[in-house]
């Protein structure tokens, strides 16, 4: 088997999901960093983790940082978080953002559109099963993006606010939102 490690899947108890999505805020520097990372290579899917905080009482999620999964196995039509990728992401989060927790994940669909495939849904159901976990999908070719979250036990498109850190301006977003700027 060499240096390859097998990832053991375990059954994660379902947490009670809510019928209403949380109030979600994504900060512009996070979106800019994701745009830049996924825009580097349009021949394969790329992705990473969304980091931030959540408040169960106020039912809100703030996305304040992202970590690219540099060791993930990106292909034209899929992204696999390998054991090495998970380990690297966990170590980087602990080193760079110890105060933040994982609130979701993101990945690109270059010229495929914004949706969650069966493989994407498997990842979300098994590794991002808490009610506040999000999945951000970006198509850097078509310049579309969308956010998905848990609604009443199902993964559904959700709306979110984009917070411009420099001016505190807030813009509502939803699935099929046009990306205004993609870094080269």
- Would you say residue 97 lies in a domain? yes
- Would you say residue 154 lies in a domain? yes
- Would you say residue 41 lies in a domain? yes
Distance, in Å, from the CA atom of 45 to the CA atom of 64, rounded to the nearest integer, reads: 22
Quote the pTM value: 0.81
**Burial of residue 143, with CB atoms counted within 10 A of its CB: 0-12 exposed, 13-18 middle, 19 or more buried:** middle
pLDDT in tens, the chain (184 residues): 444 545 444 444 444 566 677 889 999 999 999 999 999 989 999 999 999 999 988 889 999 999 999 988 889 888 888 999 999 999 999 999 999 999 999 999 999 999 999 999 999 999 999 999 999 999 999 999 999 999 988 999 999 899 887 665 555 555 445 444 333 3
- Would you say residue 149 lies in a domain? yes
Number of structural domains in the chain:
1
- Would you say residue 38 lies in a domain? yes
- Would you say residue 10 lies in a domain? no
CA-nearest of 120, 171, 133 to 21 is 133
Conformation bin of residue 19: beta by default, left when phi > 0, alpha when psi is -120 to 50: alpha
Quote the domain boundaries for residue 63: 23-178
- Radius of gyration in angstroms for the set of CA atoms belonging to the chain, rounded to a whole number: 16
- Would you say residue 1 lies in a domain? no
CA angle 29, 125, 139 (to 5 degrees): 40
Supply the CATH number for residue 138's domain.
3.40.140.10
- Would you say residue 40 lies in a domain? yes
């Amino acid at each position: 088997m060499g240096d390859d490690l097998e990832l053991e899947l375990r059954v994660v108890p379902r947490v009670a999901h809510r019928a209403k999505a949380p109030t979600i805020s994504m900060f512009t520097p996070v979106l800019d960093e994701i745009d830049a990372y996924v825009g580097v290579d349009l021949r394969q899917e790329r992705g990473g983790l969304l980091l931030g905080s959540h408040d169960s009482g106020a039912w809100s999620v703030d996305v304040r940082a992202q970590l690219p999964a540099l060791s993930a196995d990106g292909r034209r039509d899929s992204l696999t978080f390998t054991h090495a990728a998970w380990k690297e992401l966990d170590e980087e989060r602990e080193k760079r953002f110890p105060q933040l927790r994982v609130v979701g994940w993101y990945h690109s669909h270059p010229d495929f559109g914004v949706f969650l495939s069966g493989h994407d849904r498997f990842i979300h159901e098994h590794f991002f099963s808490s009610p506040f976990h999000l999945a951000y999908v970006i198509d850097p070719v078509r310049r579309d993006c969308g956010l998905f979250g848990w609604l009443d036990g199902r993964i559904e498109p959700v709306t979110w606010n984009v917070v411009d850190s420099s001016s505190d301006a807030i813009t509502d977003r939803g699935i099929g939102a046009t990306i205004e700027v993609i870094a080269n």
